Amino acid sequence: MQLRTAFVAAALALAAPLPAAAQSVGVMLDACAATAQTYFNAPRAQTNMRYNGARADGTETIGGEIYLNGRAPYVACAFSARSLRQTEFAVDGRDQSSFLANSGNGGGGNSGGGSGAGQTSTEQVRFPAGASGTELSSNLAPGASLRYVLGADDGQFLYVRVAPWSGTLDYQIFNPDGSFLLDMVPARQEYRGQLWQSGDHVVEVINRTNQTVSYNVIFGID
């Protein structure tokens, strides 16, 4: 009789709805994944987030990987126990919590003249008549990015050089089908490579720091 009673109690426990605290875990998992995708400007990247429990002060913690081309950085997030507001963000053990305040986890864009904090803008690149390249200047607010769109053909060679006046920037290059031509690299690394698709290629310059960065960018296609 005791065994049957225990079995019924266990079954009822499994059938009961999850407590509010447990239900909130899914929200935090999704929020941490979204922060990682925004940080790396990879909205379609797969993630594997896990609940790591609560700290002594009640802060809830999440951690896991985001899968980029050829690498899987480990990200960690922390949330206020009462409001579930994200308060901390780290990548491979390095604190990047300033990104939360600067980015607002996304935002609208404006074209030309750089991007506001946390915004993503788009600019169509046009070469002067008869030229095979051009140099442009702009600035990026903290957490912002600027996507340069260049039309090019399969078999052509693309050259990209991003030169910050001060501070640091990163950039990445997308093929016309949205796949990576070049995963995110620091601005000090120039790119020259042959293209294998025809259409609009996107060079996205990204400011992951907490200060506005001015820069020049050089494009060449031949």
Average pLDDT of the segment spanning 198-219? 92
Whether 108 is covered by a domain: the verdict is no
My answer on whether 99 and 64 are in the same domain is: yes
My answer on whether 17 and 93 are in the same domain is: yes
* C-alpha angle 55-60-64 in degrees, rounded to nearest 5: 105
Given a cut of 90, whether residue 210 has pLDDT beyond it is: no
Check if the beta carbon of residue 206 is closer than 8 Å to that of residue 184: yes
Helix or strand run (H / E) with residue 155: none
Q: Give the count of beta carbons closer than 10 Å to the beta carbon of residue 32.
A: 26
My answer on whether 99 and 134 are in the same domain is: no
Whether 216 is covered by a domain: the verdict is yes
- Strand order of the sheet with strand 74-79? 46-54, 60-67, 74-79, 86-91, 94-95
My answer on whether 129 and 193 are in the same domain is: yes
Give the pLDDT of residue 5: 41
Name the least confident of 20-29, 38-47, 120-129, 162-171: 20-29
Give the pLDDT of residue 103: 58
Domain final residue pick, 51, 78, 103: 103
My answer on whether 95 and 134 are in the same domain is: no
DSSP 105-131: T------SS-B-TT-EEEEE--PPTT-
Give the pLDDT of residue 1: 45
Give the pLDDT of residue 13: 37
My answer on whether 130 and 205 are in the same domain is: yes
10 Å CB burial of residue 54 (0-12, 13-18, 19+) is: middle
My answer on whether 129 and 187 are in the same domain is: yes
Give the pLDDT of residue 222: 93
Give the pLDDT of residue 116: 56
Domain final residue pick, 103, 135, 160: 103
The number of folded domains in the chain is 2
Helix or strand run (H / E) with residue 30: helix 20-39
| Residues in Cβ contact with 59 at an 8 Å cutoff, skipping those fewer than 6 apart | 78, 79, 80, 81, 87, 88
Q: What confidence tens digit (pLDDT) does each residue in 58-69 have?
A: 888 899 999 988
Give the pLDDT of residue 158: 98
My answer on whether 172 and 146 are in the same domain is: yes
Predicted TM-score of the model (pTM): 0.53
Give the pLDDT of residue 147: 92
Given a cut of 70, whether residue 16 has pLDDT beyond it is: no
d(Cα 109, Cα 204) in Å, to the nearest integer? 13
How would residue 163 be classed by pLDDT, with cut points 50, 70 and 90? Answer: very high
Query: Considering only CA atoms, which of 219, 171, 215, 175 is closest in space to residue 198?
Result: 175
| Cα separations in angstroms, 56 against 53, 59, 61, 168 | 10, 7, 11, 36
Query: Considering only CA atoms, which of 110, 90, 86 is closest in space to residue 39?
Result: 90
Q: What confidence tens digit (pLDDT) does each residue in 104-161 have?
A: 543 333 334 555 556 788 899 999 999 999 999 998 888 888 999 999 999 999 999 9
Whether 150 is covered by a domain: the verdict is yes
My answer on whether 138 and 212 are in the same domain is: yes
| Cα separations in angstroms, 183 against 5, 18, 153, 205 | 58, 40, 20, 12
Look at strands 86-91 and 74-79 and give their pairing. antiparallel
My answer on whether 50 and 133 are in the same domain is: no
Whether 191 is covered by a domain: the verdict is yes
Q: What confidence tens digit (pLDDT) does each residue in 50-100 have?
A: 988 888 888 888 999 999 888 888 999 998 877 778 889 988 888 888 888
> What is the span of the domain harbouring residue 183?
120-221
Given a cut of 80, whether residue 17 has pLDDT beyond it is: no
